[in-house]
Amino acid sequence: MAFIERAVGALPVIVVTGMIALAQMSALGSSLAAVDEDEGTENPASAAAHLDHAKMPHPQVVEQAVDEGRRACDEAGGTRFAARPGLVRTGDLTGDGRADYVVDFREALCVERSTLFSGTGGWEVRIYVARPKGGPVRVFTGHVLDYELVKSSGRREMRFRLHGSFCGRFGTERCVKQRRLDLQPFVFRNR
Over residues 132-172, the pLDDT tens digits come to 988 899 999 999 999 988 887 778 899 999 999 999 998 78
- Is 90 exceeded by the pLDDT of residue 174? no
N-term to C-term CA, the chain: 55
Of the candidates 110, 139, 136, the one whose C-alpha atom is nearest the C-alpha of residue 123 is 110
- Whether 177 contacts 188, CB under 8 Å: yes
Distance CA 181, CA 94 (A): 6
d(CA 24, CA 1): 35
Determine the average pLDDT of the residues in 16-25: 40
Per-residue model confidence (pLDDT) at position 1 = 57
Q: Beta-carbon neighbour count of residue 150 at 10 Å?
A: 15
Whole-angstrom distance, CA of residue 64 vs CA of residue 161: 26
Q: How far is CA 176 from the centre of its chain?
A: 16
Closest listed residue to residue 166, CA positions, set 134, 120, 114: 120
Of 171, 146, 139, 149, whose CA–CA distance to 160 is shortest?
Answer: 146
At 25 the pLDDT is: 37
DSSP letter at 164 equals G
Query: Could you tell me how far CA 189 lies from the centroid of its own chain?
Result: 18
Q: For residues 40, 43, 49 and 55, what is the CA-based torsion angle, rounded to 10 degrees?
A: 140
pLDDT tens track for 32-88:
223 233 333 344 444 555 688 888 889 999 999 999 999 999 999 999 999 988 899
Do 108 and 85 meet the contact criterion of CB atoms below 8 Å apart? no
What's the pLDDT tens digit per position in 101-136? 999 999 999 999 988 998 888 999 999 999 998 889
In which band, very low, low, confident or very high, does the pLDDT at 9 lie, cut at 50, 70 and 90?
Answer: low
pLDDT at 49: 54
